Amino acid sequence: MNVHEDAPKLLWAGDSAVVIQFGNDISPSLASRVRRAANALEGARLPWLVEVLPSYRSVLAEFDPRLISPAAAIEALQGIVNVADAPDGSEVDAALVEDDIVTIPVCYGGQFGPDLDDVAAHTGLAPREVIALHSEPLYLVYMIGFTLGFPYLGGMDPRIATPRLTTPRTVVPAGSVGIAGNQTGVYPSASPGGWRLIGRTPLRLADPSADPPCLLRAGNRIRFVPIDEPTYYLVGGADNGQRA
């Protein structure tokens, strides 16, 4: 069987978990391998596999020691990952299918994006140019972490990079879209935060009572689509972050 020159390393993470590590940088090609491995592990429906957590360059696989020994688990994981990771000449976009592009409507500026003017001032762009550059790329969800449904995104245009607020807000409303340095992200739930807020989505990104409990998953591509305020309210957007 073909294997990548940089075959994944399986590293012990205690006696009931293994880290499957694909490399040491942040790139769409590594993310694609991570996603394939995570999909294969989940698809195998192994009763002893209790957590599969994809991140930038690795997958954390946790197993139930009541059901399998570490030696047997690592052998089974290695087998699945080797098959999933075999190169087929389409590695960068193999995991990208149309279904996985999630459109996130955003009402930019105004009461929902109180820092849009600051971002414009910092970057020397007009507010509408900031909006255009932010809603242009197809972003990649590298991982979900920090809080329920929070996506770590790659692909933001460096021209709109802006440092965090020097004093974080005590409450950032759910759905807020922000910029922090060269990252952009969406707050799934209300929380404290120092990101520069440029808009808000009426979509509910996290709902603990839903299955799955969040809209996004690692490997999704997302696109932000500008909407106006009437549309924001029409599709059920909330006023001031009263949602979960």
Partner 1 sequence: MANVLEVVNPGPLSILQDLGRLGWMKYGVPPSGALDQEALAIANLLAGNPEGATGIEVTYGNFTAQALAPAVLSCTGAWAPVHIDGVPVLPWAAFAVTPGQIVSIGTPAWGVRAYLAVRGGIAAPVVMGSTSTYIRGALGGIDGQGRALRAGDLVAASEPPAAVSAATAPASAVTARAVAALAKRQAVFATAHSSAPARGSASTPSSKGRAIAIRVVMGPQDDHFTDAGRQTFVDQEFTLTNRADRMGLRFDGPAIEHARGADIISDGMPPGAIQVPGDGLPIIMLADRQTTGGYPKIACVARADLDLLAHMRPGDRVRFVPLSAQDAYEALKQEQAASRAPGRALRIKIDGVEHVVALFELQ
Q: Which residues bind partner 1 (CB under 8 A)?
A: 11-17, 19, 21, 24-26, 38, 50-60, 62, 65, 69-71, 74, 143-150, 152, 189, 208-209, 212-214, 217-218, 244
Check: CB of residue 33 under 8 Å from CB of residue 58: no
Nearer residue to partner 1 within complex by CB, 67 or 138 = 67
53 DSSP β-pair partners: 60
Identify the three-state secondary structure at position 130: helix
Nearer residue to partner 1 within complex by CB, 217 or 223 = 217
Handedness of CA 49, 53, 59, 60 (dihedral sign): negative
Q: CB of residue 173 vs partner 1: minimum separation in angstroms?
A: 15
221-227 vs 101-108, strand pairing mode: parallel
**C-alpha distance from residue 19 to each of 81, 219, 231 (Å):** 12, 18, 44
Q: CB of residue 21 vs partner 1: minimum separation in angstroms?
A: 7
Nearer residue to partner 1 within complex by CB, 105 or 149 = 149
Nearer residue to partner 1 within complex by CB, 108 or 150 = 150
Q: CB of residue 121 vs partner 1: minimum separation in angstroms?
A: 30
17-21 vs 176-180, strand pairing mode: unpaired
Q: CB of residue 133 vs partner 1: minimum separation in angstroms?
A: 26
